[in-house]
Each structure stands twice: as C-alpha cells, then as structure tokens.
Amino acid sequence: MTATETRTGTYEAMFLVNQTAAAAFGECLEHINHLFERAEATVIAMKKWDERRLSYEMDKQKRGVYILAYFTCPTNMVAHLERDAVISDKIMRLMVTSAEHLTEEEIAAHDDRKGLETEAKFKAEQGDTADSAKSSTVRLGAPVQAAPAPKAEEAPAEESAPEADSDAPAAE
C-alpha cells in the first residue's frame, strides 16, 4: 500500500435520535445522510431499528428513535463522523463498531431505505394535515365571548335563625 492510498473499512452505526427531531423524520434522515457525506462514507444499508422509551432521561428526552446504518468509510474519517454527531442537536448518541465480520448479504438484509422514505413521506403528510387542522381553527379579530353561564335561581335572603312559632311561649 502506498502513502496515497487510504484504508477503508465497513462499519455499523447506531444513531439515537431525539423524539422532537424524529417528528420531522425526513429532515432527520437528510441530516444523517449529510453526516455520512461529510465523513466521505458510502451507505450500504440503513433502517429504523426501534422507537422506544429510554432507560433514563437524556437531554430532557424520555423517548428516542434508533436508526441502524451500515457504511464504508475511510478509517481516519470515523472520528469526524463521531464528532459531527456529538455536535449535532438532533442526534443524542452514536455508536460506531466494525462490521468486517458480516457478509454483504447479511448487511443487505438490513437495508430498508425505501421503507424509511415511505415513513418520512407519511409523517410529513400527517404533519401537514395536523398543521392545516390547527390553522383552520385560527380566527382573526377579538376572541369570541362565550355566552355567560345561566345563574342559579337565587333563594330570597332569609334570616338563618328559624322563625318562632306564634303559639309557642317565648323563652325569657
């Protein structure tokens, strides 16, 4: 190997994405792909692994989305990928391990990028309908006053002491 050749390796990465970033799933996937581009990595397979409650609260988040990715990358750029993930506000954690022990067929079995795109489109459409429902309830001008609640019939004010019987002798 000459000095100009760079070593590349096959890696497995598990991204933990915070719930608020995962709400805009398409943007989240674009962000992860951008991190791979910056690290000069080529994605072989990617899929959503799970969405679950975290064991403990991290960055004030109680839930997270796990995204599993297999990629090839120059060995010296893995540290850059990890650094970019630490800096990112959308990614809470990243774990990168070597995937040299897996065959291409095993890695290809984990490829669900089409499913990720479908889910991103679905969540975007779902978000658009929720946004339009919220915007349809917006009204301009002064708030509408609710009709006042009907008052309970007021009983005539009487003395709290019972009236004395006119037949009974008065106590002296």
Give the pLDDT confidence of 23-62 residue by residue, as tens digits.
Answer: 888 899 999 999 999 999 999 999 999 898 988 888 788 8
Please give the mean pLDDT across all residues of the chain: 81
Task: Give the tokens for residue 122.
Answer: 């679905």
Q: How confident is the model at residue 149 (pLDDT cuts 50, 70, 90)?
A: low
Q: What is the pLDDT of residues 126-135, one digit of tens each?
A: 776 655 555 5
Report the amino acid identity of residue 122.
F
- The CA distance from 97 to 99, in Å, is 6
Q: Please check whether residue 20 is in contact with residue 27, taking contact to mean a CB–CB distance below 8 angstroms.
A: no
Which domains are assigned to the chain?
8-128 (3.30.70.60)
Is residue 93 packed enough to be buried (19+ CB in 10 Å), middle (13-18) or exposed (0-12)?
A: middle
pLDDT at site 20: 83
Mean pLDDT of 141-159: 59
More confident residue, 140 or 30: 30
Mean pLDDT of 122-127: 81
Among the listed residues 18, 101, 35, the one whose alpha carbon sits nearest the alpha carbon of residue 69:
35
Q: What is the pLDDT of residues 75-84, one digit of tens each?
A: 999 999 999 9
